[in-house]
Structure 1
Amino acid sequence: MKICGIELKSNNVILVLVDDKEFIDLKIKKLVLEDDENQEEIRKFCNEFLLFLEQNQVEKIVIKKRAKKGNFSGGAVTFKIEGLIQLNPLCEVDLVSPQSISSFEKKNIIEFPSSLKKYQEQAYLTAYSQS
């Protein structure tokens, strides 16, 4: 099963694709929502994301959850992006808590692929923990 792991940071969607625990090195490593107040930019982002899902035959999306309040809460734009991702008609979307990912990492020996970028590690762990 092809699983897309996602970490949302600011206006960036960091992407990783895992197929049966095997990392797939993608050309597209992140998508950016340039202006969350511009309808054309939102449509452009949605179309790019749907095209990514179709081209890579993604069967499931898992997103690393962000806190809704407190010092480490996610920004408003990340929640807007999350909603757009959840509305995709192509595959199911699950949210995974940082605690679940951390617990998985402690119970398993994780070797990050050499072609994985440092900024993709959390998205990789999110996808890998669910595959």
Structure 2
Amino acid sequence: MKLCGIELKGNDAVLVVLEISEKGPKYIDLPTRKIALGESDNAVDVIRFQDEIATFFVSNNISKAAIKKRAKKGKFAGGPDTFKMEALIQVIPDLEVELVTPQALAAMEKKHDIIYPSSLKKYQEVAYLVGVWLFK
């Protein structure tokens, strides 16, 4: 089974795909590492984003995804585009989506010795943690 960890930053959905193996989560280095929303006020861009990300999940046989949850208000509140992207991902048919809090990720990171794959890009580290969290 393949899973996807997602971090929403600005207008990008940063993606990391993991596969269940006997040794734990196995990182799959795919050419698509992020998908951009584009202009969030433009319906064509919004539809294109959802089509592109849904196609990514289907073509890579991903059945479950987790998204790092963002604060709705306060100093570290997520931008409006990230909430739009989250909703577009949550309504993709046949995809189970979970939201994970930053606190849960920090606790998991403290409890387990997380080793990042060498082929993982620096900007994908949070998405990788989110994907590993799905293995809990």
Q: What is the TM-score normalised by the length of structure 2?
A: 0.94
Tell me the C-alpha RMSD between the 2 structures.
Answer: 0.6
Equivalent residue of 1:61, what SS? Answer: strand
Q: Moved runs in structure 1, 4+ residues, more than 6 A?
A: none
User: 1:16 aligns to what?
Assistant: 16
Q: 1:36 aligns with which of 35, 40, 50?
A: 40
User: 2:6 aligns to what?
Assistant: 6
Structure 1 unaligned spans of 5+: none
User: 2:126 aligns to what?
Assistant: 122
> How far apart, CA to CA, are the structure 2 residues paired with 1:47 and 1:76?
20
User: 1:100 aligns to what?
Assistant: 104
Is 1:61–2:65 an aligned residue pair? yes
Write out per-residue CA displacement over residues 79-100 of structure 1, whole angstroms, 9 at most, x where no aligned residue: 0110000010021100000111
> How far apart, CA to CA, are the structure 2 residues paired with 1:90 and 1:42?
20
Structure 2 unaligned spans of 5+: none
Aligned length: 131
Q: 2:74 aligns with which of 66, 70, 92?
A: 70
**1:130 Cα shift?**
1.3
Equivalent residue of 1:59, what SS? Answer: strand
Q: 2:83 aligns with which of 79, 93, 101?
A: 79
Q: Which amino acid aligns with 1:44?
A: R
**1:43 Cα shift?**
1.0
Is 1:48–2:39 an aligned residue pair? no
> How far apart, CA to CA, are the structure 1 residues paired with 2:63 and 2:45?
26
Q: Which amino acid aligns with 1:92?
A: E
**Identity over aligned residues, as a percent?**
48
